[in-house]
Amino acid sequence: MKTLDRYLLREALPLFGGGLLVIVLLFLGGAVYEVLAPLVAKGADPYTLLRYLLFRTPEALARGAPVAYLFALLVLLSRLGEDAELKALLALGVRRERLLLPFLLLGTAIALAAFLLGEGLVPRALAQGQDLLRREVLERPRALLTPGATFQDAQGRVVYVGKVEGEAIGALRVLSREEVLLAERGSFRGGVLHVEEGTRITYEGSRPRTLARFQRGELVLKDLTFDPWQNPANRMTLAELQKEVQRLRQMGVRAGLEATTYYRRFAEPLAAPVFALFAVGLAFYLLGGSRSLGLVGVAVLTFFYYATWSVGRIMGEQNALDPFLAAFGPNLLYGALGLFLFLGGRR
């Protein structure tokens, strides 16, 4: 490794590590606010909450690494331009391609690590976090129940809660195609819903068949309607996603959510080497006019990627945009702009 390579990497890695740490903390902070707040308010076990955040950390690392790399390169190259180090390198005969090479190699290494993490550890960690949260919810179901809440029992029947007063629930409805259970009161104990004073109505087709009263009953719970990840495809591997996309398309379903998630598994890590081209190209382009990007410019360009990534993801999942374009669109945009800036920058 040349002295120039060691110098550039030594300057870039601390910035990358600091940016990644901030992104991971912001990601986990969002998880605390959106997912754990209801449990915390009801006195959930701090150890359980810590374990849940640990399960979410691999996802934060995999998704945050390319963005942190973009931030690190923009900050570093902006400083090198302000300190005239880029001009000095050009004066010494160092070509732009030579400066791009170590950043491109580091970006490729980050992309490979993020891909392996996203395909190997992330789906398992998300599934384990979901199981942990489900157990916590089943043990403390009142933490998440409000009037109108629904969940399922072990037989797949939908349970509707009509009233919530303190620790008591009532006006319960247990619905399936074959029967309807109506109960005045209910309580939770050990993942089991105990109902009292109810009526059971069975159906044959659309007509009632039997009507019976009961004093007490038990329903083993399966899952509350509380999923911290709106996209369950995030917990699938690439092979599982591919099979699911094929199955849905054979049924005539467009499968925008699953297909977009599949392509994003490749597009998100590949953003890292694309960012290397963009950052170096921008640095030399600004060098030609003796301009500086500054921290505000760094923040704007980093946020702009996140904004285009979010919009593309939503449009792809909602079948408003082709899944491939929704996933790779931000990379193509930054890559094309980076190539333009690199070719048009100062030589």
Backbone angles phi, psi at 304, to 5 degrees: -60, -40
Both tokens of residue 331?
Answer: 């990379």
| Overall average pLDDT of the 156-181 stretch | 81
| Overall average pLDDT of the 229-247 stretch | 80
Q: Are residues 47 and 29 in the same domain?
A: yes
Q: Are residues 52 and 17 in the same domain?
A: yes
> What pLDDT, on a 0 to 100 scale, did the predictor assign at position 301?
87
In a domain, 228, yes or no: no
Q: How confident is the model at residue 323 (pLDDT cuts 50, 70, 90)?
A: very high
Residues 145 and 22: their CA atoms lie apart, in Å, by 33
Residues 327 and 245: their CA atoms lie apart, in Å, by 15
Number of domains in the chain: 2
Report pLDDT digits (tens) over 247-278.
888 878 788 888 999 999 999 999 999 999 99
Side chain identity, residue 57: T
Of 149, 112, 135, 153, give the one whose Cα is nearest residue 55.
135
Q: How confident is the model at residue 225 (pLDDT cuts 50, 70, 90)?
A: very low
| Overall average pLDDT of the 168-172 stretch | 82
Residue 17 has pLDDT above 70, yes or no: yes
DSSP 148-185: T-EEEETTS-EEEEEEEETTEEEEEEEE-SSEEEEEEE
Both tokens of residue 315?
Answer: 């449009």
Final residue before a domain boundary, out of 159, 187, 220 = 220
Question: Hey, how many other C-beta atoms are within 10 angstroms of the C-beta on 208?
Answer: 12
Report pLDDT digits (tens) over 130-156.
777 766 655 555 555 667 777 777 777
Q: How confident is the model at residue 167 (pLDDT cuts 50, 70, 90)?
A: low
| Overall average pLDDT of the 207-215 stretch | 83
Q: Are residues 245 and 111 in the same domain?
A: yes
| 291 compared with 296, residue with greater pLDDT | 296
Of 97, 70, 53, 81, give the one whose Cα is nearest residue 228.
53
| Overall average pLDDT of the 25-31 stretch | 84
Structural domain that includes position 281: 1-139+233-344
Contact 169, 145 (CB under 8 A): yes
Q: Are residues 76 and 173 in the same domain?
A: no
> What pLDDT, on a 0 to 100 scale, did the predictor assign at position 67?
93
Helices and strands per DSSP (H, E), number in the chain: 10, 6
| Interstrand relation of 207-224 and 150-153 (parallel, antiparallel or unpaired) | antiparallel
- pTM for the model stands at 0.73
Report pLDDT digits (tens) over 36-57.
665 665 555 677 778 888 999 9
In a domain, 249, yes or no: yes
> What pLDDT, on a 0 to 100 scale, did the predictor assign at position 222?
60
Residues 223 and 197: their CA atoms lie apart, in Å, by 24
Report pLDDT digits (tens) over 105-130.
999 999 999 999 988 899 889 888 87
Q: Are residues 109 and 250 in the same domain?
A: yes
In a domain, 227, yes or no: no
